[in-house]
């Protein structure tokens, strides 16, 4: 499940995952929020960490400034603050 497509843009699934991680969240909670199986969330989290869009903090994952910048291209600031 690549999080970045051939054009270098993040996929819709990656956007949903990043939004779920904005306030900081465990992978279990991200899976629950997005309705995505946990094994897919784990794979995506690894890719997003490698891309610099997410960082791991103990047991939670948080969207980085780079991740927020990518999201801001297609999301409202209110949805980013609220983790929608």
Domains of the chain plus CATH, in order, are: 12-74 (1.10.10.10)
Distance CA 49, CA 51 (A): 5
pLDDT computed for residue 2 by the predictor: 75
Give residue 24's pLDDT.
Answer: 85
In this prediction, residue 6 carries a pLDDT of 77
pLDDT for position 79: 39
pLDDT at site 5? 78
Mean per-residue pLDDT pooled into runs of 10, the chain (84 residues): 75 89 89 94 92 89 90 54 40
Here the tokens at position 56 are 């791991």
Strands (E), 1-84: 54-57, 60-63
CA proximity to 9, closest of 74, 57, 58 = 74
**Nearest Cα residue to 20 out of 10, 12, 29, 8:** 29
pLDDT at 80 (0 to 100): 38
| Residue 70 near residue 18 (C-beta atoms within 8 A) | yes
Q: What is the pTM of this model?
A: 0.77
**pLDDT recorded at residue 81:** 38
Residue 10: CB atoms within 10 A of its CB come to 22
């Amino acid at each position: 499940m690549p999080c970045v497509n051939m054009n270098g843009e993040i996929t819709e699934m990656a956007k949903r995952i990043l939004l779920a991680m904005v306030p900081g969240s465990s992978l279990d909670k991200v899976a629950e929020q997005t309705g995505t199986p946990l094994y897919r969330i784990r794979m995506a989290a690894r890719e997003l960490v490698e891309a610099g869009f997410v960082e791991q903090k103990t047991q939670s994952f948080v969207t980085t400034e780079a991740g927020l910048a990518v999201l801001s291209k297609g999301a409202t600031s209110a949805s980013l603050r609220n983790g929608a």
